[in-house]
Structure 1
């Protein structure tokens, strides 16, 4: 044959199928208070297929397989213990600026 064996093998090998990307989404994340800020990291996906989303002062977890959504924490009213007395002071709400899953773990940093 006039072609080298490597070229013949390449010609007769199965071709990779063309990847088809759908034009419409099959799932939509409803996150009404998601801040549009380059410096915030408000969405992270865990190795166990759980999506964490920081919305305002709250962090939500969404199981991607079951679509179950639950509130993890709400930082609207943070209580700080007082130094010497028995009363604690309530400070204003905090805003979630970052969420991140630990690699191969179920630990979430907020």
Structure 2
């Protein structure tokens, strides 16, 4: 699914509930940060090894996936409100990163 399809579904969901008035750029940016904080709680005191072990539990994996989805939802809605095409923005950023961080001739 491309971002515009996801965006369309999110806008339909939002509009069916009358939530557009709350979805200002400031509120969406704050909401994305709040959800990112909730995601970080899952990693706060654990080592990388402990985290990788914990996500083998389906409930823990789903909880983390839900928080990641919440962050993506709010960022997608923010991009919509600002008129940013996420497909284009991601492709452009990948190209910039390729120029800024070229791959070594021999992978490490």
TM-score, normalising length: structure 1: 0.22
The structure carrying a bigger helix percent of its residues is 2
Of the two, which has the highest radius of gyration? Answer: 1
TM-score, normalising length: structure 2: 0.22
